[in-house]
Amino acid sequence: MRHITTNTTPTPTIRGIADHSWQAHGRCHGLPAKEIDELFFHAARDRAAIDAAKAICGGCLVKKACFDYALDNEIRQGMWGGLTEDERRPWHARVNKRLDYARVKAAFEGRDVHLSDAEREAVTRHAYVRGWSPERLAYALRLDNLDWARDLMRNAAHAVADRDRYWGQAEPEAATDDEYAEDEDASDEDSEDAVSPVQVPRQAQTHALIAALRKAA
């Protein structure tokens, strides 16, 4: 009799800025320091080392967490997340425009995540639509200044009002599950007219994402 086994090791979720527990799940974890230096901090044109490092990163469960760690901490040297310094350079250049809804969801779950400007705006707009108080937003974004949280909520209110005025929509709080479903099933021709409460890009707007954000809120 043949038995089929699978790797059930869970992929660590986003927990917080200071949480390094994901590193223990990396395929490079435990390698000798000399080998790590040779493979992951290789010379610029050492193709053999680059290929060997990429082979290790290819099947790593925490490759994305590794990549995010390099971006969040401005680590530009070495290979992180399976990408070399040159390959990560464009990501570092536009890190404040990054919009990763896994990180937005993590912020709603109360995790101390290093959000980009675009991700903070998404959190703020969704918080406003869900009726959060400035105090609750300040806690979620780790803001020390409550007036700052009030300003963010005020800006979100203006942005949502302008959006609804432009599109002629009703108040966002009145949106129902059926309306979300209709928006999800809209054709490509109508996709540019569809607006979600947190400005979710079309390719990222799924029932699972909407349900997760609602539950987190």
Say yes or no: 141 and 179 in one domain. Answer: yes
CA 170 to chain centre: 29
Residue carrying the six token digits 């401005």: 74
Say yes or no: 120 and 176 in one domain. Answer: yes
What are the residues whose beta carbons fall under 8 Å from the beta carbon of 176, sequence distance 6 or more? none
Q: Which amino acid is at 72?
A: D
Contacts of the segment 136-145: beta carbons below 8 A, 24+ positions apart = 140/107, 140/108, 140/110, 141/107, 141/115, 142/112
37 SS3 class: helix
Q: What pLDDT score does 210 carry?
A: 62
Domain contains 16: no
Cα distance between residue 51 and residue 53, in whole Å = 5
Token code pair at residue 163? 């959006």
Cα distance between residue 161 and residue 157, in whole Å = 6
Q: Which of 70, 28, 29 is nearest to 49 (CA)?
A: 28
How many CB atoms neighbour CB 24 within 10 A?
10
Q: What pLDDT score does 8 carry?
A: 44
Say yes or no: 105 and 86 in one domain. Answer: no
Domain contains 15: no
Q: Profile the chain (217 residues) by mean pLDDT over runs of 10 residues.
A: 44 55 89 91 87 93 89 87 91 82 83 83 90 90 88 89 69 43 41 39 54 64
Cα distance between residue 19 and residue 9, in whole Å = 18
Torsion angle in degrees (nearest 10) through CA of 147, 153, 156, 158: -80
Domain contains 103: yes
Q: What pLDDT score does 186 carry?
A: 43
Domain contains 154: yes
Residue carrying the six token digits 């038995």: 3
Q: What pLDDT score does 81 carry?
A: 93
Say yes or no: 74 and 111 in one domain. Answer: no
Give the residue from 62, 93, 124 where a domain finishes: 93
Q: Which domain holds residue 158?
A: 97-216
Say yes or no: 66 and 105 in one domain. Answer: no
Q: Which of 58, 62, 88 is nearest to 74 (CA)?
A: 88
Global pTM reads 0.48
Cα distance between residue 22 and residue 214, in whole Å = 26
Q: What pLDDT score does 40 carry?
A: 93
Q: Contact, 140 vs 106, CB < 8 A?
A: no
Q: Total domain count for the chain?
A: 2
Domain contains 127: yes
Cα distance between residue 85 and residue 93, in whole Å = 12
